[in-house]
Amino acid sequence: MADKKMVEAITSMDEDFAQWYTDVVRKAELIDYTSVKGCMVIKPAGYAIWELIQSQLDSRFKETGVENVYLPMFIPESLLQKEKDHVEGFAPEVAWVTHGGLNPLTERLCVRPTSETLFCDFYKNDIHSYRDLPKVYNQWCSVVRWEKETRPFLRSREFLWQEGHTAHATAEDAQERTIQMLNLYAEFCENVLAIPVIKGQKTDKEKFAGAVATYTIEALMHDGKALQSGTSHNFGDGFAKAFDIQFTDKDNKLKHVHQTSWGMTTRLIGAIIMVHGDNEGLVLPPKVAPVQVNIIPIMQKKEGVLDKAYELRDRLSNFRVKVDDSDKSPGWKFAEAEMRGHCIRVEIGPKDIEANKCVICRRDTREKIEVSLDELESKVAEILDTMQKEMLERARAHREDHTYVAKNMEEFEKLFTEKSGFVKAMWCGDQACEDTIKENLSVTSRCMPFEQEQIADTCVCCGKPAKKMVYWGRAY
Amino acid sequence: MADKKMVEAITSMDEDFAQWYTDVVRKAELIDYTSVKGCMVIKPAGYAIWELIQSQLDSRFKETGVENVYLPMFIPESLLQKEKDHVEGFAPEVAWVTHGGLNPLTERLCVRPTSETLFCDFYKNDIHSYRDLPKVYNQWCSVVRWEKETRPFLRSREFLWQEGHTAHATAEDAQERTIQMLNLYAEFCENVLAIPVIKGQKTDKEKFAGAVATYTIEALMHDGKALQSGTSHNFGDGFAKAFDIQFTDKDNKLKHVHQTSWGMTTRLIGAIIMVHGDNEGLVLPPKVAPVQVNIIPIMQKKEGVLDKAYELRDRLSNFRVKVDDSDKSPGWKFAEAEMRGHCIRVEIGPKDIEANKCVICRRDTREKIEVSLDELESKVAEILDTMQKEMLERARAHREDHTYVAKNMEEFEKLFTEKSGFVKAMWCGDQACEDTIKENLSVTSRCMPFEQEQIADTCVCCGKPAKKMVYWGRAY
C-alpha cells in the first residue's frame, strides 16, 4: 500500500503536465522552495546533476582553449548603462543594492543579470596588442533576474549558469567562435543529455540585447512546448566601441575587438525532466545520473544477501552505484528508485545468489534482464550505453512526430489549435508578422534553422515573398 | 635586458612585504582590480589554483559523506534577525538589496555574508525524524561582506568559499563533525598546500557570531604574521531553538537538532603566496600548480627542437604541462615561468637532444638537474614529489624558527617589538587581558591549541593563575 501511495502521489503527465513537472521536481527531491520569493534550494539530488553537467561541459570548453575566471557579482549603474540596447534589455529586471553596511552607496550596484559589461570593463584594461587576443574566458556563477512568475529550474530569480565571453582580432574569428560554441552545446545536449536540438539563428525580435546575431539550440519537451536550451551571441564591435576596447594590430593600427558570449543554465535540468520523465518520475540519461546503479537486496535479512550486495557494489565501482540497505520494503525501494531516476536497479536475493545471477531492470523501458553474475560489469556497461543511445533516439522520434509543416495561415492556426510541437513555416522577414502571430496564437519564432527547407514561396502570415523557413512554437 | 626588467619590477620581500605581495599578485596575473570598489577579477592563473583547491577539497568532503547543494544568495532581513548574536555580528557589514526591477521591495534582502540563517530556514522544513539526520550539506558560492579596507585574496567585499552546514541528532555528533572537518582542513593545508597549521579553539572574544565554540587552523606567513586559514563552528542547539528545527527522535520525543558550520575561502591563495613565494615571484606546491612543467625550447628555430619539445610534452601528459613556444627569448621565458610559479622548467636545446638529455630546474630551490630523456617521466614525478614534501618542511621550519615563548609581559612585549611570529604564552581566560594586549600591542589571540604546554603558572598579562596556553600573533 505504501508503495502505491508514493506512485499515486504524482499527477499523470497527460492529465496535467505542469503539475506532473512540479510533482517530479519535489518528489525526486531535486529542489525545495524557500522563504526568498522566486528563489529555490537545489537539493543534493538536483545539485549532483548540475555537477555532472558542469564537469562534462567544462572539460569540453577547456579542450577548445577556454580559461575560467571570476568577475564581481555587482555592476555599477553607470557601467550597465554604457551599451544602450543592453541596458534597455536588462535594467527593468535587475536587483539593486543601495546600501553597503550601514551606509547608503554613492552609486547603486545591480546584481549581475549577465556580465557583458563587467567583461568589457575588464578587457578594456587587459587587452593592448594583437598578442593578447583571442581572450576566451568563461565563468561559472549565479545570476539574478527579477522575474515575476517563476518555475523550478525553468525560470527563477536566481539561477546558476556559465557565461563565456570572448574577444577577437577580427569579425571572422568572433563569428567562428560563436558557431563553434553553439555546435559544442548541441553536441553536449545530444551526447550527454540525450536531447536532440535544432540549431539556428534568432530573429532580430528575439535576439539578445546588444547582439548583432544570436544563435540558439531549441529542444522539444514531451508536452510539445519548446525550450531554448543554450544561446551563443556575436556582438560584432558594438560593445567594444561603447567600452573603448582597442588593440594595436600587426599593422600597427588601433582597432576595436570583436566579441561573443554564450551561456547554458540550470534550466537544462528542467529540459532533462521534461524530455525524458514519465509517470513513474524522473528518467535520467546515464551520463548525468548521480545514481547509475541502485542495488536492491531482496530478503536482505537472510544471511549473505547484504554481503553479496556490497560485493556487487564494490565490483561496480567504475559506475555511480549505491546499495539501498534501508529497512524499507523492496517494493517501496523500487518505486523510490524509479521516482529518482536511478538508471538501472539490480535485484539480488537468496535465489539469485544460489543461481549466480541477478535481475537488472532498466529505468527507461522498465525491461527486466537476467544477468549472470560472472558478466555483471560488462552487462551493466552495455545496458547503460544502450540506454543512453535509445533515450536520444526516442527523444528524436518524439520530436519528429511533433514537428509539422504549414504552408499557409489556415494550416498554421489549425496545427497550433489541434497539435502541440514545432511548426515549420516560411517567413518574409518582417517583425510585424512575428508580432501578429504572437498576439493571435501565443506562438513565437524559435529560430531560423541552419538547415533551411523551401516549404513554400510565401510568408505564412502576410503572403509576401518568403525569406526564411522558421521553426515556430510555444515556449517555456 | 628585458629579462632583468621583469624581475626588477618586483619589490623585494624584505624591503616591503605588502608591496611584494601586491606585485606578485599582479605580475603573476592572478587578479586584476575592477571598477567595483573592493571587488577583484580572479584571472585564469588565479582561478586555476582555486579550481585545483576546490576539486581536491571537494573529493575529501565527499569521502566523509558531504553532499553539495545550492541555496539562494539573498536573505530576507527578518530571517537574518532571528538569531540575536548572529545578526549583531553580520548586519553592520552586509549589502542590502532594496529594489527588484523597477519596484521597491516590501522587505529588504541582504546578499549572504554566510548562510546559517538560510540553512536553518531550509532544515526547519526538511528535517522531521531522526531518520533524516545527519544532514551534511555544503555549498560552493560567493559571499559579500562590506569591508572598508580590502586586499587581493585576503580581504575583499566579495569572495569565493565553501560553507558546510550540518544538523545532527546529538551534541556529541555535532562536536565530532566539527572536529572532523577541522582535521580535514589541517590535513588538506599540509598535504596539498604544503602549509603547516596550528589547530586549536578560538577564545570567546574571537569566536563566530552565534557559535558555542569556534575551532581554527592558523598558519604563519613568511613575514611572521598569522593567517586564519579555515574555521569550524559548533552551534549547539542555539540556531535550532531560534529557528525551531525539531525532529522526532527514536524515543518518540521532539528534540532540537545540533548544528555545525565550517568554511574555507579564496584567501587560501593569499596564504600560498605568502608562505611559499620569493623574490622571483610565485612558488606553488605541485598539487595546486596549474602548470607543473614548463618546457622551454632553446634555439627553437633549429630544426627538430620544437618537435622534440612537443614530444616531451606528450610524454608528460600525466602532468599539467605546457610548451612555451612563443617568440620571446629563453631568458625572458625563464623569468616569466619563475614569476608565475611553474614548478619545474625543462630546458631542451640542440645539444641536449644530441646528448639525449634535458636540464630540469626546480622553482623552489632553483636547483638544476641533468636528466636523461630515457627516464624523463619518472624523474619529473620524483622531483615534483620531493618539491611538494620539501616545501612543507621548509614552511614548518620557518614557523618553528618564528615561534617564541613568553613567560611574562616583559618578554611578551619584547618579542612583539623585536620579532615577528607566533608567541606562546599563558592566559587566565579573562577577556580583559585579551583586550589589553590587543590595545597595547595590536596582537590578538590566535587560538588555544589542542596541544597545550605548561609554559608558566600565571597569565602573561595580569599575573593571575593561568588556564590555557594561547598562540598570540599579529594577523591578516
B52 residue type, one letter: L
Nearest 10 degrees: Cα torsion B168, B171, B177, B182: 140
Residue B13's φ and ψ, nearest 5 degrees, are -70, -25
Question: Is A137's CB within 8 Å of B69's CB?
Answer: no
- pLDDT tens for A337-377 read 999 999 999 999 999 999 999 999 999 999 999 999 999 99
Percent of chain A with pLDDT over 90: 93
* Burial (CB count within 10 angstroms: exposed 0-12, middle 13-18, buried 19+), residue A255: middle
- pLDDT tens for A411-437 read 999 999 999 999 999 999 999 999 999
Asked whether the bond before A196 is cis by omega within 30 degrees of 0, the reply is no
Q: Compute how many other C-beta atoms are within 10 angstroms of the C-beta atom of residue A6.
A: 18
> Mean pLDDT for chain B?
96
Looking at chain A, which residue has its C-alpha nearest residue B124? A34
Q: Is the pLDDT of residue B366 over 80?
A: yes
pLDDT at position B78: 94
Q: Is the pLDDT of residue B133 over 60?
A: yes
Q: How far apart are CA A138 and CA A377, in angstroms?
A: 38
Helical segments of A139-262, H only: 171-191, 238-243
Question: Is B40's CB within 8 Å of A109's CB?
Answer: no
pLDDT at position B8: 61
Percent of chain A with pLDDT over 70: 98
Q: How far apart are CA A279 and CA A289, in angstroms?
A: 18
Which residues of B fall within a CB distance of 8 Å from A51?
68
When mean pLDDT is compared across A1-15, A91-105, A396-410, A454-468, the lowest value belongs to A1-15
DSSP assignment of B367-425: -EEEEEGGGHHHHHHHHHHHHHHHHHHHHHHHHHHTEEE-SSHHHHHHHHHH--SEEEE
User: Cα A454 vs. chain centroid, distance in angstroms?
Assistant: 30
Question: Is B141's CB within 8 Å of A142's CB?
Answer: yes
Q: Which of A32, A53, A59, A96 would you mutate first to test chain B, the one with the most B CBs within 10 A? A: A96
Of B44, B93, B100, the CB nearest to A69: B44
Q: What is the three-class DSSP state of B330? A: helix
Q: Is the pLDDT of residue B5 over 70?
A: no
Is the four-CA dihedral A235, A238, A239, A244 of positive or negative sign? positive
Looking at chain A, which residue has its C-alpha nearest residue B113? A101
Partners of A246 in the β-ladder:
A256
pLDDT at position A381: 98
Q: Is A65 on the interface with B (CB under 8 A)?
A: no
Average pLDDT over residues B282-311: 97
Q: How far apart are CA B248 and CA A387, in angstroms?
A: 41
Confidence of residue A84 (pLDDT cuts 50, 70, 90): confident
Structure-model confidence comparison of residues A20 and B209, the more confident one: A20
**Closest listed residue to residue A74, CA positions, set B103, B34, B349:** B34
pLDDT at position B7: 53
Looking at chain B, which residue has its C-alpha nearest residue A122? B34
Q: How far apart are CA B335 and CA B6, in angstroms?
A: 7
Q: What is the three-class DSSP state of A247? A: strand
- pLDDT tens for A199-226 read 999 999 999 989 999 999 999 999 999 9
Q: How far apart are CA A337 and CA A318, in angstroms?
A: 20
Question: Is A36's CB within 8 Å of B76's CB?
Answer: yes
Q: Is A12 on the interface with B (CB under 8 A)?
A: no
Which residues of A fall within a CB distance of 8 Å from B137?
44
Q: How far apart are CA B171 and CA B173, in angstroms?
A: 6
Question: Is A96's CB within 8 Å of B99's CB?
Answer: yes
Q: How far apart are CA B208 and CA B205, in angstroms?
A: 9
Average pLDDT over residues A276-295: 98
Structure-model confidence comparison of residues B85 and A289, the more confident one: A289
The single-letter DSSP state of residue B343 is S
Residue B419's φ and ψ, nearest 5 degrees, are -120, 170
- pLDDT tens for A142-196 read 999 999 899 999 999 999 999 999 999 999 999 999 999 999 999 999 999 999 9
- Triad B261, B263, B268: Cα angle to 5°: 165
pLDDT at position B404: 98
B110 grid coordinates:
541582504
B461 residue type, one letter: C
Question: Is A97's CB within 8 Å of B111's CB?
Answer: yes
> Mean pLDDT for chain A?
96
* Burial (CB count within 10 angstroms: exposed 0-12, middle 13-18, buried 19+), residue A394: middle
pLDDT at position B16: 97
Average pLDDT over residues B317-335: 96
Q: Is A146 on the interface with B (CB under 8 A)?
A: yes
The single-letter DSSP state of residue B245 is -
Confidence of residue B257 (pLDDT cuts 50, 70, 90): very high
Q: How far apart are CA A403 and CA A420, in angstroms?
A: 9
Which residues of B fall within a CB distance of 8 Å from A34?
71-72, 118, 121-122
E strand map for B29-145: 31-33, 40-42, 67-68, 74-76, 95-100, 103-111, 135-144
Q: Which residue has the cell 551563443?
A: A232
Average pLDDT over residues B250-275: 98
B443: CB partners within 8 A, 6+ apart: B416, B423, B437, B472, B473, B474
Of B47, B74, B157, the CB nearest to A69: B47
Q: Is the pLDDT of residue B3 over 70?
A: no
Q: How far apart are CA B469 and CA B455, in angstroms?
A: 7
Longest CA pairwise span in chain B (Å): 81
Q: What is the three-class DSSP state of B124? A: helix
Q: Is the pLDDT of residue B114 over 80?
A: yes
Q: Which of B35, B54, B88, B115 would you mutate first to test chain A, the one with the most A CBs within 10 A? A: B35
**Closest listed residue to residue B38, CA positions, set B149, B142, B112:** B149
Average pLDDT over residues A15-27: 97
Confidence of residue A246 (pLDDT cuts 50, 70, 90): very high
Secondary structure of A42-62 as H, E, C letters: ECHHHHHHHHHHHHHHHHHHH
- Taking the CA of residue B356 and the nearest CA in chain A, the distance in Å comes to 31
Q: Are B263 and B66 in contact (CB under 8 A)?
A: no
When mean pLDDT is compared across A4-13, A290-299, A436-445, B245-254, the lowest value belongs to A4-13
Percent of chain B with pLDDT over 90: 93
Looking at chain B, which residue has its C-alpha nearest residue A42? B70
B355 residue type, one letter: A
Q: Which residue has the cell 594595436?
A: A248
Chain A from 103 to 132: CB within 8 A of any B CB: 109, 111, 118, 121-122, 125-126
- pLDDT tens for B197-240 read 999 999 999 999 899 999 999 999 999 999 999 999 999 999 99
Which ipTM score applies to this complex? 0.96
pLDDT at position B2: 46
Confidence of residue A8 (pLDDT cuts 50, 70, 90): low
Q: Which of A55, A69, A88, A131 would you mutate first to test chain B, the one with the most B CBs within 10 A? A: A69
A31 residue type, one letter: I
User: Cα A79 vs. chain centroid, distance in angstroms?
Assistant: 29
Q: Is the pLDDT of residue B84 over 90?
A: no
